[in-house]
Chains A and B, each alone.
Chain A
Amino acid sequence: MRTRHNGAMGLTWGTGAYAARSATHAAIFAPLAPVGRAEAVAQRLADAIQLGLLEQGERLPTEQDLGRQFGVATVTAREALESLRSAGLIETRRGRAGGSFVCGSGDDARAALTTRLAALSRVELRDMGLHYGLIAGAAAERAALFATPDEVAMLGTLVEDGAVANGVAARRAENGIRLEVAALSRSARLVSEQVRLQAEFGPLLWIALQEHGVVTGNAARHRRLLAAIGDESPEQARAVVAEQVGWLVDRLLAIREVAER
């Protein structure tokens, strides 16, 4: 049984965004590898804040809950929260309505992500893009074999919501679309690999989804992907994703060039 979570901010979101949001949370709170340490937890949460997936004012789970969800000790979760606090990404309030709250918006924090981008070599970026594209492409290929018209229509809602979104909302929609396509592959391992890659590379890859031209270009590619899945054309679906991810990586490289100067 699968639930989709609507938001208190729901009035301003399209229906697809609800699904994108819950998918997003699944990615953010996916358990880490057993070696997951405080830095890994802090990085995952910082990415989510920088992308605006966790919004300004949102309350984070308690140290105990974070530890449980990420599969790390409570002290490790506490350490991660401390580093986020000293980076000014969260603030902690005391009392009954207390807890750790996100401060600073996704767009404020975009600079931090761009710095991380500049620190990566072009070789590393291309390699991440290749890996991401292969997994997403394989998921799309399988989705074309299994998707029902209902499922294609639901994906269409996500795509159209993402097409008219900007910045944070566009990136959130991108996250949701990728996870839904992966789920349509009906492979549990492909889904978990997609979730893992999304956590690792998604925040960087989607920096490019800031400019209007990139958002609309990306939406046009999603429509082609949907058409291929709807036509039950696996080769076409895979090809669309390969081209799309390559194109996003090129946009990313261009942003990196500017950041380096």
Chain B
Amino acid sequence: MITEAILEIADVLGTALGPVFAEVADWRTRLEQALAAGSSTGPVVDDAVEWLVAPSLDDARPMIGAGFVAAPGFLEDAPWHLAWWVSAANGVGLGARPGTLRRLASVENPLDESFHDYTRLEWWRGAVESGGAYLTGPYIDYLCTDELTLTLTSPVTVDGAVAGVVGADLSVARLERLTDGVLHAAAVPAIVGTAAGRIIAATDAAVEPGTPARRLGLSGDWHPVPGCGGTLAVAGTA
């Protein structure tokens, strides 16, 4: 009975969260097609990425940043390149001032040196090593969002080689609105966790997002949330 209740939670969560994951998967497919067409430069990629991601960064959604990060050396004119947009709701670099949809400024900051080694970071390695969707966090991202964030990334491959990583920053505060309804209605105590073992939501409001799942006693196995590329799972808690 408990397993049935957990599977039902997973299904309903999949309905709520699946569209977000489908969107990033769609960007991946479209970018792979666009990039396979031939040699690419920074400005060409920037235009394509902005066209793809900007509509998803409107105010009501959990996505507060999205874009494409090129593999070192993939683009002809830019050995390291970030085409990343942040939403109006994303407060990074603004203090308390109101924001607009904008390109992530750190790339243009002339104080930053010309080099960005993002390939050592979890959101890059996770996507490239798994070959599929990867969810990093929840963590505080003080350079790109300034709030508790989950970063969803997928590799973009062209001719069998990694051309870069496409992804989105999801606000944990905004995801709460999607998961709360499901979890409040849950018949049994449960947690939602990432593949790396981090809790992102729980039926028990006292459980903080980011807590390692191993700290809580589980009452059974993890059940994947459908439509989330294996990055999210639900388990019952004792």
Contact = CB atoms under 8 A, between A and B. Distances in A.
User: Which of A6, A8, A183 has most chain B Cβ within 10 Å?
Assistant: A6
Contacts of A183: 139-142
Contacts of B97: 31, 71
Contacts, number: 126
Nearest to A185: B140
Interface of B (DSSP majority class)? loop
B95 A71 contact: yes
Interface string B142-185: 11101110010100000000000001010000000000000000
Contacts of B148: 186, 188
A187 B139 CA distance: 9
A22 B118 CA distance: 12
Interface residues of A, number: 47
A188 B65 contact: no
Interface string B83-115: 010000000011111000000011011111111
A65 to B, nearest CB: 8
B77 interface: no
A186 B117 contact: no
B103 to A, nearest CB: 13
A110 B122 CA distance: 37
Contact of B117 (A18, A30, A31, A99): A18
Interface string B208-238: 1111100000000000000000000000000
A1 B140 contact: no
Contacts of A99: 110
A6 B116 contact: yes
A66 B116 CA distance: 22
A39 to B, nearest CB: 17
Contacts of B96: 31, 34
Interface in A131-168: 145-146, 148, 150
B111 A54 contact: yes
Interface residues of B, number: 47
A192 B148 CA distance: 12
A31 B84 contact: no
B74 interface: no
Interface string B109-134: 11111111110111100000000000
Nearest to B117: A6
Contacts of A4: 116-118, 120-121
A25 B109 contact: yes
Contacts of B110: 59-61, 65, 99
A29 B111 contact: yes
A1 B138 CA distance: 11
Contact of B113 (A6, A148, A186): A6
A186 B136 CA distance: 13
A30 to B, nearest CB: 8
B138 A186 contact: yes
Interface of A: 1-10, 15, 18, 22-23, 25-26, 28-34, 54, 58-61, 65, 68-69, 71, 99, 145-146, 148, 150, 179, 182-183, 185-188, 191-192, 195
Interface of B: 65, 67, 69, 82, 84, 93-97, 105-106, 108-118, 120-123, 138-144, 146-148, 151, 153, 167, 169, 196, 208-212
19 contacts: A1-B144, A1-B151, A2-B142, A3-B106, A3-B116, A5-B112, A25-B109, A31-B94, A54-B111, A60-B110, A61-B110, A61-B111, A150-B122, A182-B140, A183-B141, A186-B138, A186-B139, A186-B140, A186-B208
